Amino acid sequence: MDTNSFNVNVLKEKPRIVNLLNIRGPSVAPAVSKELGLNSFLASALLSELLHEKLIKASNMKVGGGPLYYILGQEALVENFIQYLPGKEREAFKMIKGEEILEDSKQEPAIRVALRAIKDFAIPMKIHLDDGERIFWKLHTIGKEEFEKRINFILNPRPQEVQKEEAKKPKPLLETLKQETMEESKEVEEKPLREDRESKTEKAGKKPKREKKSKGSFDFEVDCWIRENGATVIEMSKDGKNAMGKISIPEKGDYVLIARNKKTLDELDLIIANQIGLHEKMPILLLANGKLNKKAEEVFSLFRGITLHRL
């Protein structure tokens, strides 16, 4: 591609965004767009994809109408933006910041509501005891071991003399406390893309095994598709998970080729591909070894410049 023209290469822009956040810390989408000279719509789309890939995180707190994006390990830096919290939520933050652990039932109703709203800073912990269940809130920067140590002291206070004697003895692991977050994780069952292979394995009475692919096999599949369709590569960049470049197909013309190694493509993939096509003023040929999800299928007809092929 002509590097002197305004083109957007997803393979290059995403690492630039991650690097920017790593240097500047938590930032909003408009700031990222301005700093890197990206179209604001595309910057937001790329940030959303990085979030989906769990390469960055986003705050629940809104700054100027949008979340703060940041890198894992920068959670404490989000506290620099508490001025954007509403009054009662800011009060709840100051309480959890000062005490570090708060028991839910001992707080006034307005603070209990506010604690549930500041998810970036207050983490709910359920403690199961013989006489029932109690909810505590811990500051987001307090680790599990520190929380266990301090909650054990809160629930089982000892006279100072007893504490000194017990300090000399090995401390047993906490057996009576079981922690869990308020939201239970859901297991996502992955279905293999190649159902024909799975069915053959099941007929043989054996459990299907995930096929191991050598490094670069996705790149090989892309190369095979290009050869089988008689296309000529004008320019191409690949990293094993994504490929992007320009190709020419006899009697059909030139295309921007975008290949995605994903089991499911969503509307965000279509939006990014469409933006690239608009900037390059060329039709998009989107290759994928996965399927469109339901939402992407519903909106696919709106992207008339994209042709989709399954690897």
What are the tens digits of pLDDT across the range 252-286? 999 999 998 888 888 888 888 888 888 788 999 99
258 within domain boundaries: yes
232 and 150, same domain (yes or no): no
Degrees (nearest 5) of the Cα angle 7, 65, 296?
Answer: 55
67 and 128, same domain (yes or no): no
Q: Average pLDDT for residues 118-143, to the nearest whole number?
A: 90
232 within domain boundaries: yes
pLDDT at 112 over 80: yes
pLDDT at 13 over 60: yes
29 and 52, same domain (yes or no): yes
Per-residue pLDDT, 164: 56
305 and 220, same domain (yes or no): yes
Q: Average pLDDT for residues 184-212, to the nearest whole number?
A: 42
Per-residue pLDDT, 135: 93
Q: Which domain holds residue 261?
A: 214-311
**Residue 292's CATH number:** 3.40.1350.10
Q: Average pLDDT for residues 44-55, to the nearest whole number?
A: 88
pLDDT at 179 over 80: no
Q: Average pLDDT for residues 170-178, to the nearest whole number?
A: 41
Q: How confident is the model at residue 244 (pLDDT cuts 50, 70, 90)?
A: confident
What are the tens digits of pLDDT across the range 281-291? 899 999 998 88
In the numeric block, which tokens belong to residue 306?
A: 């994209």
238 and 289, same domain (yes or no): yes
74 and 98, same domain (yes or no): no
- Tally of domains in the chain: 3
pLDDT above 70 as % of the chain:
77
Q: Which long-range contacts (CB under 8 A, 24 or more apart) does 28-36 make?
A: 28/63, 28/64, 28/66, 28/67, 28/68, 28/69, 29/66, 29/69, 30/64, 30/66, 32/69
pLDDT above 90 as % of the chain:
42
Q: Which pTM was predicted? A: 0.53
Q: Which residue in 40, 54, 50 sits closest to 17, CA to CA?
A: 50
Q: 253-260 and 284-288: which strand pairing?
A: parallel
Q: How confident is the model at residue 239 (pLDDT cuts 50, 70, 90)?
A: confident
Give CA–CA dist 86/279, Å, rounded.
Answer: 40
pLDDT at 295 over 70: yes
pLDDT at 174 over 70: no
Domain boundary among 138, 167, 196: 167
Per-residue pLDDT, 257: 93
Q: How confident is the model at residue 9 (pLDDT cuts 50, 70, 90)?
A: low
Per-residue pLDDT, 95: 94
Domain boundary among 132, 167, 202: 167
pLDDT at 118 over 70: yes
Domain boundary among 65, 80, 95: 80
Q: Average pLDDT for residues 14-28, to the nearest whole number?
A: 93
More confident residue, 171 or 21: 21
297 within domain boundaries: yes
